């Protein structure tokens, strides 16, 4: 099976290299009748765009989305939706120097091993530029989910050793790291500037939430909604871990502490806690879906590192170019997109559950 | 897409309920010419079996595997392999009392919400009994991988708050928790007995390793090998988190600390560290594959809990029956199976990478 | 992708060899809440069974279906349904003589070329015995479709050069060839007995009809309903051609003759003719679905034929054993099953067409 | 499962509407290292282009292929290949008149029934313009197959009642109908001009051949190579029937006439006849693959026809615009493309057959 598609009934297929003429996404299986235009997609792409703030890469890409198919008179038609984003500020010159050397922590070595050939310009297919297409696909999923009362958002909960300790949704988009804790946000930005000055980088943790998700989504025993979320989120560049609900902290709890008690609240079934992250037995339970991802520090750093060249000779490398010292803030809309696509897919799949 | 299959080129489909006549697995896409017999499967099933030790459920299931197809004169033929395991000690009586009440932390509520009907006996389809089929499927994948010099094993690295701090592979199968640290193992067993006495349960962490995996496995950008591993592992009952390599600990490292330096060792490319967990850019890099999963405490506990009945009335429940106070030890072979199937699938998929 | 599954949302996976211990089918994705028991499946299997009449093989297989999962208290639960059929009268002795010789028109040569190994007993996986599993899967699809007012049946329209010229549905199950024209049926039986006496065999044509299929099924541009029907029908052993509606006869018509005019009949849109076979642009139009398949003469014949042995030496062969001189009558329920599964799958897929 | 993709390991996904800004195709799973440039694709697109001769539509579309990804320094990289074709001569004005009326024999009625919305301009997604994308995808498959010594071509064997009776491959591209029989070709052209004058249309039959296909391709029991070819070919607009090898003519032969005898020729296994069409038991046998498709007469005709409007009122229609009176000649490269993609996919899938 070819590997550039995600989802089954609602399926996105991304294509394009960092420094090729364009990148894009085909969304197949989007139901007909959803209101969609380029502004709705652009709004989301703008959140992932480079050059937004002092802490991101200074590459200038307008990232303009163009819808080429699947929408007629402002509505989806059921036909595949092609969204295309031109690459405008692709500067391959800084990559020429390192085209024959494997950047540590990057996919250079593994792409050569797998394919025997590699588009080295800007990381080619393995570049995070590909995630713009995920965001575009997620924006379409978002419009579909909106019609079903479902909403998804993400926020940064940790950068380096600095953790958010408060949650104020209204401040997320007001700071450069997309953190719901203003005080922590400031420290996170400081920490990022500090490592950048040092020619280094840091990682972080993002939390994604799905609000208004009805009970019933997920297809046991393999396509459980947590399993499909884990896959979608783990497929994001730099992600090293995925948690649902209590995640790794579940390990130190007992069953009596961890099980979410059920009561009736507002005449409806409710869970008094949400250690499950909104999922029991691989199926959504009606509570908030909560997932967290750990992102490693950006591998592109100015410090000299030990590596090999393509002839497998030992050498060292210093990665120049315009890199983010911390990919976490720009990965926030990508993480949202992955949950959006997964929920859209499972919402459609669940339509087959009963006769 | 129906959800009971895992893998594409090498694909397992499991079926069966805890208290039905049998459970089983169809393995489709297994290459022809692999030596296979029931003993090889039985050996693995025995590791997952109940009633093995003082700390597991006392349900007595011989779990005898029967191969019904796909093997001829001791070799796989390329035809689908059906492996069946009869349910012999299914005692549904203890479940009758709770058939109209949702067990907290279980799939009872979500199955009813999704399907409108539920085989309550022993948890039906959502029972961990289904994982016996995964182990059988994994045993077949193991024989295939063996022919390619690949080996997979797993071990318990944490139970409750007790962490393994040593690694001695030779002791893993010599203690009841399958821990590579003998001293920690003893404490883990004590902790499990303690919570059981208390009518409670605990969780833990399992590490799975893939040895001898060649560089090149994984299909970016969505079917990355880490993404497919995350899905397979997250689909195991009770799993709340998945990590690859450095996992969540990557967050507090800088890029210069995290990037794995490359050198030549023994005339071959080598990584001086393995923060990547053997995977860069979603493709195996030739280093050991390392994944970890967090399992929540068993939800079936003797303590009284708040819940609802199927008429959505508030009530309480005490879950009797023969339950493991900690599912971690028996999940070890299941975690292995999930990595085995994923590697087998990707090994075949990778045969298409080059012309 | 492994090849023993058909369908996506409603999916059957068959397994088993002609002379192994059993054959079976897993039905995954069947909606919950459908009434199902073994009698409903048995009724359909009995129509495909051998030894039914003077013109079929005299192998005696009771073909008893056993449901092992997915049904609880008489209803489907949404879990995969495993149906198993034991092989009881497998006599491999007549196959021993020819295990090293390729039977012309059979899959012996191609299985060896593909897999390097072959279960020669009774044709192994390539035996028409596998179609019993399709019939069982189709029987489940039939129960689902029944809840939606959809009905499928098939009948023989040609054997050798003898064509049915009348259509009386009531006589189909009253003659050994399952023909809706009593007079033609008699001639067909005579022709079959004639070729059998001669140690030879004949082919024929089956027509399959889907009644009550709503407009809207089919997923352009590749998973059109006619395309998926063509695949499902062509996958039946011995099928060499598939037609929808006018089929090959369309070639000699003009557009003005072929286009089906639309009028209002009974206050509903109606087509005055059905050259389309109920499908326009790959989507059902509400009219009867009509497909036809051409089956080649059974390749197993008593006459001596030129062939090779497994060492690729020239030799001759005479195929003994208990073979049908004409597979057409027993392929009628198989053809029905293929349309049933395809319609069930597309009915579920179509639930995603609109927001 | 979304329906705009074909193939699994080698997979094409087409997108775009007849009168939108562009149409295109993503080819995912194409092995790395294949020489590819736009000229190779253009050469094939030019064969499908309109305005080529007196007997095709006079719409003027240059159909210029642009490769946007997946190719680096003249070679495929293993990344998805996006090929885009701008729509330049889309004239929607003639469609405005009929936007509220269902054209008989078209997908207008079924698209509305399925999606509730329809891009009526030029037939939207259901337009044969989409097949340009198939041809582009097929051109990529062709380059891959070439590296394996496999070649595919198609030719017209019947138009209306006129059948080719000779086969001279060298004349196929020298006449407007792509017929291997020069004399028949002239009559076919005359017949087409005759019906066009009459405001009517005709159908025909195309034969597709695969040369050099090794034994072993096909994945029984559902993804047999004949089954997947049948699906791919039946998914082409206007196709009503598919045959493999002897096809419907097999019905009137006996087994002794139909079975292909095997002998050694040139030190290799050979079949003395090819009734099988190069496929036994769903697996290629090393002989030529031969398939035929029946195309209905173009539904767009100038003659007045009975139909309904979108309010389901009875009316009549006369379809103006620039239509081919016979789609057969332009469908020849499309038929080739469908076989090319299917063979490429199965060639890769077969790499998993043995250990």
Strand, helix or coil at D218? coil
ipTM beyond 0.95? yes
CA pair distance D194, D199, nearest whole angstrom: 9
Question: Does any CB of chain C come closer than 8 Å to the CB of residue D42?
Answer: no
Inter-chain residue contact B78 with C5, CB threshold 8 Å:
no
Which residue in C1, C76, C351 is closest to A351 by CB distance? Answer: C351
Q: What is residue C60's predicted lDDT score, i.e. its pLDDT?
A: 72
Q: How confident is the model at residue C92 (pLDDT cuts 50, 70, 90)?
A: confident
Q: Which residues pair with C105 in a beta bridge?
A: none
For testing contact with chain A, the best of C1, C81, C352 (most A CBs within 10 A): C352
Q: Are B127 and B18 in contact (CB under 8 A)?
A: yes
pLDDT digit string, tens, across residues A322-353: 688 999 999 999 999 999 999 999 999 999 99
Residue A75: give its domain's CATH number.
3.60.150.10
Inter-chain residue contact C234 with D223, CB threshold 8 Å:
no
For testing contact with chain A, the best of D69, D124, D130 (most A CBs within 10 A): D69
Strand, helix or coil at A63? coil
For testing contact with chain C, the best of D203, D218, D221, D302 (most C CBs within 10 A): D221
CA pair distance A54, A245, nearest whole angstrom: 33
| Mean pLDDT, residues D153-177 | 97
Q: Which residues pair with A179 in a beta bridge?
A: A156
Whole-number CA gyration radius for chain C = 21
Q: What is residue C323's predicted lDDT score, i.e. its pLDDT?
A: 81
User: Cis before residue D8, ω within 30 degrees of 0?
Assistant: no
Whole-number CA gyration radius for chain A = 21
Question: Does any CB of chain B come closer than 8 Å to the CB of residue C72?
Answer: yes
Q: By residue range, what is the domain housing residue C145?
A: 5-352
Q: How far is CA A194 from CA A160, A201, A202, D82, in A?
A: 11, 9, 10, 41
Q: How confident is the model at residue B148 (pLDDT cuts 50, 70, 90)?
A: very high
* Structure tokens that stand for B14 in this block: 């499991």
Helix axes C38-48, C131-146, angle to 10 degrees: 130
Whole-number CA gyration radius for chain B = 21
Dihedral angle sign, alpha carbons of residues D52, D54, D55, D59: positive
Q: Are D262 and D285 in contact (CB under 8 A)?
A: no
Q: Are D284 and D213 in contact (CB under 8 A)?
A: yes
Closest alpha carbon to C108 in D214, B74, C117: C117
Q: Are A91 and A127 in contact (CB under 8 A)?
A: no
CA pair distance B183, B151, nearest whole angstrom: 26
Q: What is residue D324's predicted lDDT score, i.e. its pLDDT?
A: 87
Which residue in D32, D79, D116 is closest to A116 by CB distance? Answer: D32
Instruction: Enumerate the residues of chain C whose CB falls inside 8 A of the CB of residue A78.
Output: 353-354
Residues 126-155 of D with CB under 8 A from B: 144, 147
Q: Are C125 and B77 in contact (CB under 8 A)?
A: yes
Instruction: Enumerate the residues of chain C whose CB falls inside 8 A of the CB of residue D198.
Output: 254
- Collect all residues with Cβ–Cβ distance below 8 Å to A19 and sequence separation of at least 6: A87, A90, A92, A95, A119, A121, A122, A124
CB pairs under 8 A between B and C: 159
Instruction: Enumerate the residues of chain A whose CB falls inside 8 A of the CB of residue C354.
Output: 31-33, 78
Q: Are C191 and C320 in contact (CB under 8 A)?
A: no
Closest alpha carbon to C37 in C84, C72, C86: C72
Cβ neighbour number for residue D198 with a 10 Å cutoff: 15
The total number of structural domains in chain B stands at 1
Give A22→chain D minimum CA distance, Å.
Answer: 6
Q: What is residue A88's predicted lDDT score, i.e. its pLDDT?
A: 87
Inter-chain residue contact D351 with B354, CB threshold 8 Å:
no
Phi–psi pair at A170, nearest 5 degrees: -70, -15
**What percentage of chain A has pLDDT greater than the value 70?**
98
| Mean pLDDT, residues A168-172 | 97
Q: What is residue C55's predicted lDDT score, i.e. its pLDDT?
A: 80
Closest alpha carbon to A208 in A44, A17, A338, A352: A338
Query: What is the maximum alpha-carbon separation in chain B?
Result: 69
User: For the stretch C269-279, what's the b/e string if a residue is b when 16 or more beta carbons lie within 10 angstroms of its beta carbon?
Assistant: bebeebbbbbb
Chains that touch A (3 or more CB pairs under 8 A): B, C, D
Q: Are C182 and C68 in contact (CB under 8 A)?
A: no
Q: Break chain D down into helix, strand, coil percent, rounded to 5.
A: 35, 25, 40
Q: How far is CA B258 from the centre of its chain?
A: 28
Closest alpha carbon to B239 in A230, A3, C265, C193: A230
Q: How far is CA D25 from CA A108, A133, D333, D344, in A?
A: 27, 16, 16, 16
Residue A144 clears pLDDT 80, i.e. is over it: yes
Cβ neighbour number for residue A304 with a 10 Å cutoff: 12
Q: Least CA distance to C126: which residue of chain B?
A: B79
Q: Are D80 and D70 in contact (CB under 8 A)?
A: yes
Which residue in C9, C76, C353 is closest to A352 by CB distance? Answer: C9
Long-range contacts of the stretch A112-116 (C-beta < 8 A, 24+)? A112/A310, A113/B215, A113/B216, A113/B283, A113/B285, A113/B286, A114/B215, A114/B216, A114/B217, A114/B218, A114/B283, A114/B350, A114/B353, A114/D32, A114/D78, A115/B353, A115/B354, A115/D32, A115/D33, A115/D77, A115/D78, A116/B354, A116/D32, A116/D33
Inter-chain residue contact B28 with C5, CB threshold 8 Å:
yes
* Structure tokens that stand for D112 in this block: 């509305």
Between residues B61 and D278, which one has the greater pLDDT? D278
The angle formed by the CA atoms of residues A114, A120 and A124, to the nearest 5 degrees, is 80
Instruction: Enumerate the residues of chain B whose CB falls inside 8 A of the CB of residue A353.
Output: 114-115
Q: Are C204 and C326 in contact (CB under 8 A)?
A: yes
H/E/C letters for each residue in A221-247?
CCECHHHHHHHHHHCCCCEEEEEECCH
> Considering chain A, what is the average pLDDT of its residues?
95
Residues 6-35 of A with CB under 8 A from D: 7-11, 13-17, 20-24, 26, 28-29, 32-33
Q: What is residue A324's predicted lDDT score, i.e. its pLDDT?
A: 87
| Mean pLDDT, residues C242-256 | 98
| Mean pLDDT, residues C264-293 | 97
pLDDT digit string, tens, across residues D294-306: 999 999 999 999 9
Q: Which residues pair with D219 in a beta bridge?
A: D223
pLDDT digit string, tens, across residues D17-37: 999 999 999 999 999 999 999
CB pairs under 8 A between A and C: 48
Cβ neighbour number for residue A245 with a 10 Å cutoff: 26
pLDDT digit string, tens, across residues B210-243: 999 999 999 999 999 999 999 999 999 999 999 9
For testing contact with chain C, the best of D281, D302, D309 (most C CBs within 10 A): D281
Instruction: Enumerate the residues of chain A whose CB falls inside 8 A of the CB of residue B264.
Output: 308, 312-314
Inter-chain residue contact C31 with A354, CB threshold 8 Å:
yes
Instruction: Enumerate the residues of chain A whose CB falls inside 8 A of the CB of residue C8.
Output: 8
Inter-chain residue contact A240 with B227, CB threshold 8 Å:
no
**Locate tokens 């409007």: which residue?**
D309
Question: Does any CB of chain C come closer than 8 Å to the CB of residue D215?
Answer: yes
The angle formed by the CA atoms of residues C213, C216 and C222, to the nearest 5 degrees, is 110
H/E/C letters for each residue in chain C?
CCCCEECCCCEEEEEECCCCCEEEEEEECCCECCECCHHHHHHHHHHHCCCCCCCCCCCCCCCCEEECCCEECCEECCCCEEEEEECCCCCCHHHHCCCCECCCCCCHHHHHHHHCCCCCHHHHHHCHHHHHHHHHHHHHHHHHHHCCCCEEEEEEEEECCEECCCCCHHHHHHCCCCECCHHHHHHHHHHHHHHHHCCCCECEEEEEEEECCCCCCCECCCECHHHHHHHHHHCCCCEEEEEECCHHHHHHCEHHHHCCCEEEECCEEEECCCCCCCEECCEECCCCEEEEEEECCCCCCCCCEEEEECCCCEEEECCCCCCCCCCHHHHHHHHHHHHHHHHHHHHHHHHHCEC
Q: How far is CA A76 from the centre of its chain?
A: 24
Residue C229 clears pLDDT 80, i.e. is over it: yes
Give A104→chain C minimum CA distance, Å.
Answer: 34
Inter-chain residue contact C9 with A9, CB threshold 8 Å:
yes
Q: How confident is the model at residue A50 (pLDDT cuts 50, 70, 90)?
A: low
CA pair distance B41, B82, nearest whole angstrom: 12
CA pair distance D29, D8, nearest whole angstrom: 8
Q: Least CA distance to C2: which residue of chain A?
A: A1
| Mean pLDDT, residues B326-331 | 96
Question: Does any CB of chain C come closer than 8 Å to the CB of residue D189?
Answer: no
Q: How confident is the model at residue C89 (pLDDT cuts 50, 70, 90)?
A: confident
The angle formed by the CA atoms of residues D261, D262 and D266, to the nearest 5 degrees, is 135
Q: What is residue D77's predicted lDDT score, i.e. its pLDDT?
A: 98
Residue D223 clears pLDDT 80, i.e. is over it: yes
Instruction: Enumerate the residues of chain C whose CB falls inside 8 A of the CB of residue B125.
Output: 77, 79
**Locate tokens 């002989």: which residue?**
D287
Q: Are C289 and C209 in contact (CB under 8 A)?
A: yes
């Amino acid at each position: 099976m070819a590997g550039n598609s995600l989802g089954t009934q609602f399926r996105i297929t991304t294509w394009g290299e960092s420094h090729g003429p364009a990148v894009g996404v085909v969304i197949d299986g989007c139901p007909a009748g959803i209101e969609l235009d380029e502004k709705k997609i652009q709004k989301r792409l703008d959140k992932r765009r480079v050059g937004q703030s002092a802490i991101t890469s200074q590459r200038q890409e307008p990232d303009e989305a163009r819808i080429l198919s699947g929408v007629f008179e402002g509505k989806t038609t059921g036909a595949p939706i092609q969204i295309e984003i031109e690459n405008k500020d692709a500067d391959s010159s800084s990559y020429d120097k390192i085209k024959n050397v494997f950047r540590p922590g990057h996919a250079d070595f593994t792409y050569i091993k797998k394919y025997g050939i590699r588009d080295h310009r800007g990381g080619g297919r393995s570049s995070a530029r590909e995630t713009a297409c995920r965001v575009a696909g997620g924006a379409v999923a978002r419009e579909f989910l909106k019609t079903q009362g479902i909403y998804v958002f993400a926020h940064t909960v940790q950068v380096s050793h600095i953790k958010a300790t408060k949650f104020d949704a209204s401040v997320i988009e007001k700071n450069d790291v997309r953190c719901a804790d203003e005080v922590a946000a400031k420290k996170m930005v400081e920490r990022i500037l500090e490592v950048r000055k040092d020619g280094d980088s840091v990682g972080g943790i993002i939390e994604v939430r799905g609000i208004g998700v009805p009970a019933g989504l997920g297809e046991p025993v393999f396509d459980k909604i947590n399993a499909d979320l884990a896959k979608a989120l783990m497929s994001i560049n730099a992600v090293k871990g995925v948690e649902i609900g209590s995640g790794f902290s579940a390990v130190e709890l007992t069953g009596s502490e961890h099980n979410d008690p059920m009561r009736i609240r507002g005449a409806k079934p409710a869970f008094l806690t949400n250690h499950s992250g909104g999922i029991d037995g691989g199926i959504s339970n009606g509570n908030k879906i909560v997932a967290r991802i750990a992102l490693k520090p950006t591998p592109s750093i100015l410090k000299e590192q030990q590596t090999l060249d393509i002839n497998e000779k030992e050498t060292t490398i210093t990665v120049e170019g315009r890199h983010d010292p911390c990919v976490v803030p720009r990965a926030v809309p990508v993480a949202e997109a992955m949950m959006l696509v997964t929920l859209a897919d499972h919402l459609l799949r669940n339509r087959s559950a009963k006769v």
